[in-house]
């Protein structure tokens, strides 16, 4: 393989790769602003410039200064076999200092009030490559703040004109709302008159901006980024399987960002996925279990509600009636397996069905006109459930037959022989589907257990309500629209007394077996999100009644016990763990 030496490190590369790409792949640090793996190369920021020497075949392959010894943009210069590059030579370092000084001439230096502080390349490179003090004494040019669209603000005076945002709207979204207006120190990013930056993937420009110029309205002044912890996750609201970082602190989600996966979402996510987590902390969340007493639903502790649910379900099964279980496509495969196993243990002929799969609009590929297999294409999915395929796969393996789709399940669950129903929902909005409400109708005489996350009419019809957990509060595996199985971990603990649906299945089974839990151990305290120098935050969580549900163990058991689920032992993709942040400075505990 050809080899190039960058800053003294020998790096193998694939022909065609740029020097900066090779350096990034081998962990050799070269500063860069305008370069991005997902965009064309503009080479306009000039901070990546390096000195290069290349073998001259006409001179016995002796190393000679490349391009006459001029500094070359490493982001735009192809690596050559035998080349030697230095971005740490006096000439290259002088350029880095000059670029930094130039970029900071009109910069407002308002880091204390800037959302980007802590994850800003301008800040980082000032520290690493800048000169420490400003020699600029003249008046700075002040550019206006602009409202670019529903999710994005532009603080123009922080912009370094790298044009990543402009290239994104031209090359990825294909909508071209942004352009460069003016010249010289009056240059500004702007939207065309009468146009808003409001395409379905517009907020990716916030992640692309290497400085604090493009800011997320939703995250504005919400949290300092150094307090955020990130957990690798998967899109939990559509069938995309997009890879995400869930960023959270003290048990609260603050933002969701894309996690690069070139096979699935490249470097991007839709705005829908980025902001689609608000139901996690909604006031309408079910926070504790409820059971029906004298006709009214009352909040009660887990033990009594589990006992009541187990009793009602067992009564129906003993009377020879069918148990009908509706597994929501919002649930991970492991939970579908645990719930279905529980239903089948009560009634070997249980009626298993897949919950309604919401669709909105049509699939859309970006940029417009691209095929979804193009290297740079990004797809928005109309299917608004993350795991319909996974749930079908699990139910089919357990019963040996295709599971009932929602319409057939509702018809079957309303038949005379259906004695009890377990309905799981976990949608982003309360589930007002009339067919479902008919199944849960109180006049029908069926015993109804609802496992859901949000208050709504479905909850009102139940005999027992058990509060479930959203996808960021638990782990599991989703199968996306292309059939890729991807595992994810819990980012935050479940809200108040909610539990993951897999744990609820385990607890119901324990209640059925008569396992008792003392009232004093009904909840326990866990420490969440403790970071260096941070006061730990405690959260009270409901104690499991049955064995603690483990998605990883359940995956193994699924593969071991059902040949049709063997792929859960072999094909599940796991996210890379987030690299621990290394502080540049020593933390002092106060």
To ligand SF4, the closest distance from the beta carbon of 224 in angstroms equals 20
User: Among residues 214 and 380, whose Cβ is nearest to ligand SF4?
Assistant: 214
The residues near 576 (Cβ < 8 Å, ≥ 6 apart) are: 232
Q: What does 45 bind: ligand SF4, ligand FES, none (CB cut-off 5 to 8 Å by kind)?
A: ligand FES
The residues near 114 (Cβ < 8 Å, ≥ 6 apart) are: 120, 155, 158, 212
- Whether 6 contacts 344, CB under 8 Å: no
Q: What's the rounded Cα separation, in Å, for the pair 501 and 509?
A: 12
Name the 3-class secondary structure at 345: helix
Q: What does 163 bind: ligand FES, ligand SF4, none (CB cut-off 5 to 8 Å by kind)?
A: ligand SF4
Taking alpha carbons only, the member of 442, 449, 131 closest to residue 311 is 449
Element (H, E) at 336: helix 333-346
* Total chain residues near ligand FES (CB under 6 A): 12
Q: Given candidates 73, 236, 251, 390, which one binds ligand FES under the rule CB under 6 A?
A: 73
To ligand FES, the closest distance from the beta carbon of 560 in angstroms equals 50
To ligand SF4, the closest distance from the beta carbon of 172 in angstroms equals 13
User: Among residues 76 and 550, whose Cβ is nearest to ligand FES?
Assistant: 76
Q: What does 225 bind: ligand SF4, ligand FES, none (CB cut-off 5 to 8 Å by kind)?
A: none
Name the 3-class secondary structure at 214: strand
- 49 lines the binding site for ligand SF4 (CB under 6 A): no
- 211 lines the binding site for ligand SF4 (CB under 6 A): yes
Taking alpha carbons only, the member of 501, 253, 478 closest to residue 381 is 478
User: Among residues 158 and 474, whose Cβ is nearest to ligand FES?
Assistant: 158
Q: What's the rounded Cα separation, in Å, for the pair 501 and 505?
A: 6
CA atoms within 13 A on the CB side of 155: 22
To ligand FES, the closest distance from the beta carbon of 565 in angstroms equals 47
Taking alpha carbons only, the member of 456, 458, 457 closest to residue 448 is 458
Footprint on residues 10-49 left by ligand FES (CB under 6 A): 32-35, 43-48
Q: What's the rounded Cα separation, in Å, for the pair 103 and 265?
A: 32
Q: What's the rounded Cα separation, in Å, for the pair 555 and 567?
A: 9
- 162 lines the binding site for ligand SF4 (CB under 6 A): yes
Q: What's the rounded Cα separation, in Å, for the pair 123 and 128?
A: 9
CB crowding 175-213: b at 16 or more within 10 Å, else e: bebbeeeeeeeeebbbbeeeeebbbebbbbbbbbbbbbb
Taking alpha carbons only, the member of 568, 573, 571, 494 closest to residue 338 is 568
- 214 lines the binding site for ligand SF4 (CB under 6 A): yes
User: Among residues 75 and 209, whose Cβ is nearest to ligand FES?
Assistant: 75
In the stretch 497-516, what mask flags binding to ligand FES with x, by CB under 6 A?
Answer: --------------------
- 209 lines the binding site for ligand SF4 (CB under 6 A): yes
User: Among residues 107 and 428, whose Cβ is nearest to ligand SF4?
Assistant: 107
To ligand FES, the closest distance from the beta carbon of 390 in angstroms equals 41
Residue 250 token pair = 């003290």
Q: Given candidates 72, 75, 104, 244, which one binds ligand FES under the rule CB under 6 A?
A: 75
Fill in the DSSP letter of residue 429.
S
Q: What's the rounded Cα separation, in Å, for the pair 530 and 524?
A: 17
To ligand SF4, the closest distance from the beta carbon of 189 in angstroms equals 5
Q: What's the rounded Cα separation, in Å, for the pair 313 and 109?
A: 64
User: Among residues 11 and 440, whose Cβ is nearest to ligand FES?
Assistant: 11
Q: What does 79 bind: ligand SF4, ligand FES, none (CB cut-off 5 to 8 Å by kind)?
A: none
To ligand FES, the closest distance from the beta carbon of 162 in angstroms equals 7
- Whether 189 contacts 180, CB under 8 Å: yes
To ligand FES, the closest distance from the beta carbon of 103 in angstroms equals 11
- 201 lines the binding site for ligand SF4 (CB under 6 A): no
Q: What does 32 bind: ligand SF4, ligand FES, none (CB cut-off 5 to 8 Å by kind)?
A: ligand FES
Q: Given candidates 71, 165, 202, 327, which one binds ligand SF4 under the rule CB under 6 A?
A: 165
User: Among residues 146 and 255, whose Cβ is nearest to ligand SF4?
Assistant: 146
- Whether 173 contacts 270, CB under 8 Å: no
To ligand SF4, the closest distance from the beta carbon of 33 in angstroms equals 7
Stretch of 58-66, 160-168, 190-198, 478-486 lying at the interface with ligand SF4 (CB under 6 A): 160-168
User: Among residues 46 and 170, whose Cβ is nearest to ligand FES?
Assistant: 46
- Whether 4 contacts 19, CB under 8 Å: yes
Could you list the residues that contact ligand SF4 (CB under 6 A)? 159-165, 189, 208-209, 211, 213-214
Could you list the residues that contact ligand FES (CB under 6 A)? 32-35, 43-48, 73, 75
């Amino acid at each position: 393989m050809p080899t190039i030496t960058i800053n003294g490190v020998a790096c193998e590369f694939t022909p065609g790769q740029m020097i900066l790409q090779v350096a990034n792949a081998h962990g050799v640090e070269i500063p860069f602003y305008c370069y991005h793996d997902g965009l064309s190369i503009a080479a306009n920021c000039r901070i990546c410039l390096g000195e290069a020497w290349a073998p001259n075949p006409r001179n016995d392959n002796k190393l000679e200064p490349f391009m006459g010894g001029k500094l070359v943009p490493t982001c735009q210069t192809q690596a050559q076999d035998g080349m030697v590059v230095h971005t740490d030579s006096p000439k290259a370092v002088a350029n880095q200092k000059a670029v930094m000084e130039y970029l900071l001439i009109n910069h407002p230096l308002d880091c204390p009030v800037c959302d980007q502080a802590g994850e800003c390349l301008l800040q980082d490179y000032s520290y690493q490559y800048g000169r420490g003090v400003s020699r600029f004494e003249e008046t700075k040019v002040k550019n206006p703040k602009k409202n670019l669209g529903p999710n994005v603000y532009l603080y123009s005076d922080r912009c370094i004109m790298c044009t990543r945002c402009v290239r994104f709207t031209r090359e990825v979204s294909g909508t071209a709302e942004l352009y460069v207006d003016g010249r010289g120190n009056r240059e500004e990013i702007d939207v065309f008159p009468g146009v808003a930056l409001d395409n379905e993937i517009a907020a990716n420009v916030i992640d692309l901006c290497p400085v604090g110029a493009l800011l997320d309205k939703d995250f504005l002044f919400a949290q300092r980024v150094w307090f955020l912890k990130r957990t690798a996750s998967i899109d939990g609201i559509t069938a995309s399987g997009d890879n995400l970082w869930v960023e959270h602190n003290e048990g609260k989600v603050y933002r969701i960002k894309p996690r690069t996966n070139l096979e699935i979402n490249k470097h991007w996510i839709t705005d829908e996925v980025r902001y689609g987590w608000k139901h996690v902390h909604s006031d309408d969340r079910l926070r504790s279990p409820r059971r029906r007493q004298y006709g009214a639903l009352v909040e009660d502790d887990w033990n009594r509600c589990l006992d009541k649910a187990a009793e009602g379900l067992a009564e129906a099964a003993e009377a020879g009636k069918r148990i009908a279980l509706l597994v929501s496509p919002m649930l991970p495969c492991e939970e579908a397996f645990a719930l279905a196993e529980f239903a089948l243990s009560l009634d070997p002929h249980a009626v298993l069905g897949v919950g309604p799969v919401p669709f909105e609009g049509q699939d859309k590929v970006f940029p417009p006109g691209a095929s979804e297999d193009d290297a740079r294409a990004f797809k928005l999915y109309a299917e608004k459930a993350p795991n319909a395929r996974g749930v079908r796969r699990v139910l089919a393996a357990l019963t040996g037959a295709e599971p009932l789709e929602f319409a057939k399940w509702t018809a079957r669950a309303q038949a005379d022989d259906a004695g009890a129903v377990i309905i799981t929902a976990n949608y982003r909005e309360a589930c007002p589907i009339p067919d479902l409400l008919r199944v849960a109708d109180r006049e029908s005489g069926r015993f109804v257990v609802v496992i859901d996350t949000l208050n709504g009419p479905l909850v009102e019809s139940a005999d027992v309500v058990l509060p479930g957990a959203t996808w960021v509060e638990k782990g599991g595996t989703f199968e996306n629209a292309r059939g890729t199985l991807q595992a994810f971990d819990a980012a935050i603990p479940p809200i108040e007394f909610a539990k993951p649906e897999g744990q609820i299945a385990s607890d119901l089974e324990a209640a059925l077996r008569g396992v008792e839990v003392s009232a004093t151990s009904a909840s326990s305290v866990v420490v969440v999100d403790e970071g260096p120098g941070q006061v730990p935050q405690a959260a009270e969580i409901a104690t499991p009644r049955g064995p603690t549900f483990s998605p990883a163990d359940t995956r193994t058991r699924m593969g071991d016990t059902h040949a049709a689920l063997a792929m859960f032992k072999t094909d599940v993709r796991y996210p890379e763990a987030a690299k621990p942040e290394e502080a540049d400075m020593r933390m002092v505990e106060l």
